[in-house]
Amino acid sequence: MLNQRITCNGIGGNSQIFVTRSVTFIDEHVSASQHPCQVTHVELYSDVWLDCEEKEVHNRIWKHQNTYLYWGRRQVAGYKTYQMQLLNNYTLKLENVTYENKGNYTCEERNKTLSKYCIIIYGRPNISIRYQGKAVHKLNISTDVNTISFTCLAHNIPSAVNLTWSINQSVTTKGVGELLVIPDPNNVDMFIVLSSFMFHPLNTVNTISCFTESPLQQAITTVTVYEPNKEDLAEANPVDENQSVSTLLTVVITLMTTLLISFVCLTLIIIRRRADRGACCSSLTMYELSIHKDTGKLSKENPNYLDIESVDNYDVIPEISPETEVFQRKNVNFIASLKKGYFFDRWTAVISVPEKADKCVFASTIAEHMLHDKNFHWGNYVKKLLEFGNQSNLLKIEGICLDADRMYVLYEHLPDTSLTNHIETHSPMETRLRYLMDIVNGISSSIVKGCVLNDSMYQFLHPGFSANKVLLSQGKCKLYDFLLSQDAPTKVKLMKRKPGCNLSHLPPESFNETNEYSSASDLWCISLLMWQLFTFGQPPRLTANTSGHPEIPSKPNELSENLYSIVLRVWKTDPRLRPSTATLKEALENMSTYSKEIHVENDIAK
């Protein structure tokens, strides 16, 4: 059995995801004790010969798992699936093997196993060291650089491998981050392995290597980091001692001509500005935004629109209101990595601004491997977050941080307050109803706001929504970790690859080939959390029958009749038959005094 383990530290607590692949090399009919399996490691795209024992036997059968390859000398398997030959002595030759050729191969005569092979296919992974999102082999740095962030990326591998870093041929663990293993989005049978490394330059020239420890999947990549010295510069730019006087005169004339043209252009610009003082810039890059030195916010005299199509960087800010607080990278100190996920990376960080108290925050940004993926709409995601503003049931945004190639969203810091840590406590029913109404209000607000903006493509949806995505702040639930509706199918596709994913995690429509997910799907996930919330952490254990419809579990004692009837209304296979969020809110309000308190507070505020 091949096991890969992924450890992810969430905002509100720790969670672990186990990705387990089982490859059974024991035939269903013949146990290993009856005939031992000869384990054979075969390199990808090579050939292998499998011998059949007992030469006097003639009517032999070759099988791969439960697929017949040869019956006697007659080939019965398809030519497209298997590239193979049967030699005169019944030796089976497999040619140009791929990962599909792994597994058990048996040579049989009637019910007797003559030979048995367990074929394990291994390939050499593609490995690279990346700096700022690009693969590098040589890197020049200035003398004032103290830390360089590298990432080692290995892909095209059927199982996880350990990645090891070395400096000048000496293995090091200092500065090495946690190993991240994720499924390859382009191949369900492969994995991507990532390892980060914070390197502090030691010498003028340093050799950094990243390599795999697996003896069957060996690969290594190296980057040379060096500071250019005077000799290098002189060698790269040699001085011609025989430079002619005419060349010098040409340089002087060119310089004078350039100065004259610059003077004329400057004069024309001044005249034009005087003629039209109302003109403003048509487009700004990320670094042309003026930030007030005292407030740390955008200056109001600047235009608040930035055209995402007018610049090359994908991580631009499409729109920023003057109320959004913007911090430079030097003012945000990243303390610890919380999670490296498929879509987002998260840290705890501290905002340090002169003449202001330090503030602890959560920092979130797009994952490195998604940085240049045009299919993930990070710029639009941040744009919608800023447009929504701070709402009572969403995690508060403290501002954004701009870096060379990244944009970070800074959230309020609420450590160890995940609803998961409180769901098993026997709190009163009114308290749990209050939590549930906060959750419904939080999800409803994002959907309704998208509809008001007439922008259904950019609604926030919550595939995989659970108690881990809810934080508690002074008794009020706050949601985070959304996705734009156009990115939700990608998240659904990723979730479905995890072992054990079923109707207790996603609604029926998500298991179609289109990976459908909508606001009605969010209601399904809310009902799953509702069940857990009122049964003190018990999952509903939904299963599908032969027709694909959910098998509804009976009502647990902890769940009231009213709540159970709400759950049954949501658990409809057709998402069009489920109630709306407004209907769900109304049903919950009729059960709770919490809603009456909210209405009273609103009346007082008016």
- Please state the rounded mean pLDDT for residues 236-263: 65
Q: How is residue 101 written in tokens? A: 């050729």
| Start and end residues for every CATH 1.10.510.10 domain found in the chain | 419-605
Identify the residue with better confidence: 143 or 507: 507
Q: Are strands 344-351 and 397-402 parallel, antiparallel or unpaired?
A: unpaired
The per-residue pLDDT for 576 is 92
Of 317 and 399, the one with more pLDDT: 399
What's the mean pLDDT in 156-167?
Answer: 82
For residue 212 the two structure tokens come to 């795999």
Q: How is domain 287-412 classified at the CATH fold level?
A: Phosphorylase Kinase; domain 1 (3.30.200)
By the 8 A CB rule, do 213 and 188 touch? Answer: no
| Structure tokens, 546 | 């032969």
Phi then psi dihedrals of residue 603, to 5 deg: -65, -40
Q: What is the pLDDT of residues 34-53, one digit of tens each?
A: 567 888 888 888 889 998 87
Pairwise CA distance, residues 108 & 64, whole Å: 11
CB distance 518 to 578 below 8 Å: no
Q: Is-above-0.85 flag for pTM?
A: no
Are 206 and 155 within 8 A, CB to CB? no
Q: What is the pLDDT of residue 527?
A: 92
Range in 81-95, 355-369, 382-396, 557-571 with the lowest mean pLDDT = 382-396
Q: What is the pLDDT of residues 491-510, one digit of tens each?
A: 899 888 888 888 888 999 99
**For residue 547, is pLDDT > 60?**
yes
Question: Is a pLDDT exceeding 70 seen at residue 458?
Answer: no
Residue type present at position 259 = L
Every domain of the chain with CATH number 2.60.40.10 lies at 126-229
Domain 419-605: state its class: mainly alpha
- pLDDT tens digits, residue range 288-346? 334 444 444 444 343 333 332 332 233 334 455 556 788 888 889 888 877 777 788 88
The mean pLDDT value for 561-574 works out to: 91
Q: Which fold has domain 126-229?
A: Immunoglobulin-like (2.60.40)
- Where would I find the beta strands (DSSP E) of 341-441? 344-351, 359-366, 397-402, 407-412
172 Cβ neighbours under 8 A, 6+ residues apart = 165, 166
Write the DSSP string, 114-163: EEEEEEEEE-PPEEEEEETTEE-SEEE--TT---EEEEEEEEEESS---E
Cα dihedral across residues 538, 593, 464, 546: positive or negative: positive
pLDDT in tens, 181-224: 887 776 767 788 888 898 888 778 889 999 887 767 778 889 98
d(CA 302, CA 289): 7
Q: What is the pLDDT of residue 318?
A: 44
Report for 64-78, 185-199, 388-402, 520-534: range of highest mean pLDDT? 520-534
Q: Is the dihedral of CA 560, 561, 566, 567 positive or negative?
A: positive
Domain with CATH 3.30.200.20 in the chain: 287-412
| Residue 482: closest CA among 600, 601, 397, 577 | 397
Q: CA 533, CA 423: separation in Å to the nearest integer?
A: 6
Give the residue, 389 or 348, on which the prediction is more confident. Answer: 348
Least confident of 104-108, 152-156, 311-315, 588-592: 311-315
Burial status of residue 277 (CB atoms within 10 A of its CB: 0-12, 13-18, 19 or more)? exposed
Q: Where are the alpha helices (DSSP H) in 237-285?
A: 245-275
The one-letter amino acid code at 413 reads: H
Helix or strand holding residue 564 (H, E) = helix 561-570
